[in-house]
Amino acid sequence: MEKYERLERNLVHKGILFDYYQDKIKVPNGNIATWDFIGHKGAAAVVAVNAEGKLLMVRQYRNALDRETLEIPAGGLEGEPTDVAAARELEEETGYKAGKLEFLISIYTTVAFCNEKIDIYLATDLIPSKQHLDEDEFINVEVYDIEELAQMIYEGKIQDGKTVSALMAYKNKYCR
C-alpha cells in the first residue's frame, strides 16, 4: 500500500458527542489533501431478546433524518467500558435490565471520515425495570421477531447501519 502521511490535524469544533477536525494529508503522489475528520468518543448498542424470542426495538425521532427511526437501543460512552454502556442504554431506553449480556459484533459506522466504533451486545434473560429517558428523549419500545425485522431491512424500512449490522449478525449467529 502506498504511504499516506498526516501533516496536521486542526480542531475546528469541539462538540459533546464528537470533535470536528480538518487534516492535511500528504498522499502517495506527493500532493497535499485536506480531509475532514470526525473524532467520536465511541458508543455501545444492544440486541435485546425477551423470553419469547422477540427483539425489543426503540422508535425515536432522529433530527439528522427529520423522521422517526426503528433501532436497537444504543448510546454514547460516558467513560465506562462498552458492556456497561450497553447495559445502561438498554435500561434507560427500554426499561429492561440484561440478566445476561454477551458481545456480538463491533462496527465502525462511517470509515470515510469518522472513527466512531460501536460495540454491540446481545442481552437475554431480561428483567423488567424502568425507563430513564432524558428530558428531550421520547422513545417508544416495540417488539418484533427477527424475521419481521429482516423483512423491514430488505424493504428499506430499517436503514440505520448499527441496527442492520446487529440484526443480521444476530440472525446469522443465533437463528439458523
Q: What span, in angstroms and rounded, lies between the C-alpha atoms of 118 and 162?
A: 8
Contacts of 133 (CB under 8 A, 6+ apart): 92, 93, 139
* Alpha-carbon 79 to chain mean position: 16
CB 4 within 8 A of CB 28: yes
Q: Which set of grid coordinates corresponds to residue 120?
A: 454491540
2 is catalytic: no
Which of 91, 93, 102, 135 is catalytic? The answer is 135
Q: What span, in angstroms and rounded, lies between the C-alpha atoms of 122 and 49?
A: 8
Strands annotated E in the chain: 5-14, 18-26, 32-40, 43-49, 55-62, 67-71, 74-76, 96-97, 100-108, 117-124, 127-128, 140-144
Residues tagged active-site: 135
